[in-house]
Structure formats: structure tokens, C-alpha cells
Amino acid sequence: MKIAVVGCGAVGSYYGARLCRAGQEVHFLLRSDFEAVRQNGVAIHSPAGNFTIHPRCARTPDEIGICDVVLIGLKTTANDQFQKLLPPLVGPHTAAVTLQNGLGNTEQLAQLFSPEQILSGLCFVCLNRVKPGVIHHLKYGTIVLGEFRRRAGPRTQKLAAIFQDAGVPCKVTDNLAQAQWEKLVWNIPFNGLGVAGVAGYEALVTQPSTLNPQPVLTTDKLLADPRWKQLLRDLMLEVIAAAGALGFEIPIAYAEEQIERTRTMAAYKASTLLDFELGRPLELESMFLEPLRRAQTTGVPVPRLAALCKVLQRLDQTH
């Protein structure tokens, strides 16, 4: 298959490299990393084995042309680039697959393309881009693949098989929205509180008008401190309650499962924490604000999530 990767950060590069290694025709759409990847390829450092691939490299989507599959690994803060980057790659039979975090990305794609063409892959993986063309894969890697507002069809099953053949565990869901809320149970607390550590614990409890700088918090530090761990759990339970009110039933025990699973990640920096440290805009809209808006429509109390959003907005404006 002809596959384009748009947004060649950690996620896009990792999965694109896996597909390239398996023999697919993979094109990387690159900007600042173009020369590094063109000359040296993409190196994956992984406990499962290191490897380097040399994908086809392009600076503009027109150089690539229409593809069978477009994998979208852009930060959601760059979604305003959809209309510029994607149309030259997407024909009437192209599958547009967002690998992005949060809610609202598929709806934005549906403003440009037929809803039947839109898929989403939820990536459960620990990895970081350490320098141009170099990805450090730490743990996990499963993709949960689903279609926008419809059950999974033969094309989705075929794409899942292609990922499997590339060494990527891939599951197919008939309820993408349910899977998105399940992922938010982890993403909201661990991504959000890792950054909100700069504000200190009290900022999440009393919502003060000023922020006192504190060290940022990796996953192990969040779990080691009883106060932060309780706040993690409270946020998870709020997300689960909001999801349930929207018709997506998630067992309460899922929160504890996610906490225990995270212990195996050691000192992992979630993507929002890395963005904050590098001075990049935070993915507030998709990962925090849109879930908050949808939760508030249900009438379910989500005070911790609302406080977290306020703190993150303030930090995003000042960092």
C-alpha cells in the first residue's frame, strides 16, 4: 500500500517506520527533519530490537500525491493545517487515519472528507523523539483502530492486518467513541498533572489566582506521592462518570488497572509534559477542553477536571 505519514514526531515516525520495515511504500512528509531523515533514515531504539529504515521523503504533499492510507501524527495544535496538508494526499478511496490524542479530531477531518473515509487509531505506547529521525521506544505499542461514527468494515480489518504484519499489535473496535473515552481515563490525569505539578498540588484543589513553581512530575513521581495519586484517581473517576453519562460504560476498576499498568513505565514523561518543557503549545483543546465541554453537557460534576483545565490554560499562556 502507498502510505503517507503527516506529522513525523514520535508517534508518526514509529508507526511509519514499522510499516516501512514490513515492505509498505511509506512516504514521510517532513519539514525541519527533512535533511536528517533523508540522509540517515529513521532510527528506532526499542527493547524489542533496534532498526533503521529509509522512507521516501517529501517536503510538500504534492510531491507524494494520492495515497491508499494517510496516517496523521500531527500535534492537535496543528489541526489548522489539515486543509493545507491533506487534500493533495486524499483521493475518493483514501483512508484518513488520525493517530492523535483526545476528542474532536475526526470531526475536523469530516469537514474536509467523506465521513466514510475517516478512521482513528488510538495509540497505547510509551515513546519519545530524542532528536531528528531518532525515536526511543520504551514500552507497549498497541493501536486500537476504529471508524468515525460507524462499525469497522473490511478496510479497517485489512489495515489492522497490515499493522499486525508490521509487528504492531492492532485491535479493531466497533465503537470508536467508547475507545476514545477509555483512553482519556489515562491521558487526562497523567498528561495534565505532569504539567500541573508546576502549579503545585494546592492549585488543583483551591484554584488560586497565582501559581508557585514546582518540579514537573513524571509518572513515577505522581504515583509515589499519596496526594497526587489520589488526585489521579479522582480525575479518572470523573472521566469514567462523564463517559457513562454519555453512554460509554467504563468499569470503575478500569482506573486501578491503569494506575497499576503505569507503574511499569518507571519515570515516563507524557507527551504534554515534553511539550511544556520544550515551550510548545499544549494540546489543551482536544485532550482537556473538549472532554470538559462534553462532560459538562451531562450535568455530572467534574470539579477536578475543570480545575485542571484552568491551571493548564494559565500555564500554557505563561510558559
In order of their start, the domains of the chain are 2-174 (3.40.50.720), 179-318 (1.10.1040.10)
Per-residue model confidence (pLDDT) at position 211: 54
Q: E strands, the chain, where?
A: 2-6, 25-29, 42-45, 51-53, 56-58, 67-72, 90-98, 118-131, 134-147, 170-172
Give buried/exposed letters for 278-316 (b at 16+ CB in 10 A, else e).
eeeebbbbbbbbbbbebbeeeeeebebbebbbbbbebbb
pLDDT tens digits, 18-54: 999 999 999 999 999 999 999 999 999 999 999 999 9
* Angle made by CA atoms 127, 128, 129, in degrees to the nearest 5: 135
- Reported as a pLDDT band with limits 50, 70 and 90, residue 265 is confident
183 is catalytic: yes
Kindly name the residue from 84, 158, 183, 221 that is annotated as catalytic. 183
185 in Cβ contact with 254 (< 8 Å): yes
Give buried/exposed letters for 193-222 (b at 16+ CB in 10 A, else e).
bbbbbbbbbebbeeeeeebeeeebbbbeeb
pLDDT tens digits, 188-236: 999 999 999 888 877 777 655 555 556 778 999 999 999 999 999 999 9
For residue 81, pLDDT over 60 is answered with yes
Which of 228, 244, 99 lies closest to 182, judged by CA?
244
- Higher-pLDDT residue of 17, 210: 17
Average pLDDT over residues 275-302: 96
Q: What is the DSSP track for 14-81?
A: HHHHHHHHTT-EEEEE-STTHHHHHHH-EEEE-TT--EEE--EEESSHHHH--EEEEEE---GGGGGG
Cell of 187: 491521558
Which of 79, 111, 83, 84 lies closest to 98, judged by CA?
79
pLDDT tens digits, 96-138: 999 999 999 999 999 999 999 999 999 999 999 999 999 999 9
pLDDT tens digits, 153-171: 999 999 999 999 999 999 9
Q: Check: pTM over 0.85? Answer yes or no.
A: yes
| CA distance linking residue 62 with residue 55, whole number of Å | 17
Average pLDDT over residues 71-80: 98
